[in-house]
Amino acid sequence: MERIVQAMTKACEILVTTWDEGQVVAGRITLENGKLRATPQKGFEKIIETVRSTPTFIGDEELHPKKNPLKWLNSLPRQYSGGVLRAKLIEGEGK
């Protein structure tokens, strides 16, 4: 079952609230065949790279993007759920 999950593509949009436009998609982090790929929108490169490289925490458990990319990606909405920076899983979408 784990092999099937890793062969699928899963994505998470990173949303940022701006003064001018309200909430905008700053970029997307995609897990495809067990590898993470960050795709930032212009002007949001640093934010997306920071999210992409930063471990998350669920309780006492540290989730690292390189050690367990699927669990890490799934944790992003809990880690980033504020008014300025949010993460939203995009189920079943491709690249």
Average of per-residue pLDDT values in the chain = 88
62 vs 21: CA distance, rounded Å: 34
Domain residue spans of the chain? 2-88
**pLDDT score at 4:** 44
33: left (phi over 0), alpha (psi -120 to 50) or beta: left
pTM of the model: 0.82
**pLDDT score at 8:** 65
Task: Work out the number of other CB atoms within 10 angstroms of the CB of residue 36.
Answer: 17
**pLDDT score at 49:** 96
pLDDT per residue over 30-80, tens digit each?
A: 999 889 999 999 999 999 999 999 999 988 999 999 999 999 999 999 999
Q: CA angle at residue 38 from 45 to 28, to 5 degrees?
A: 90
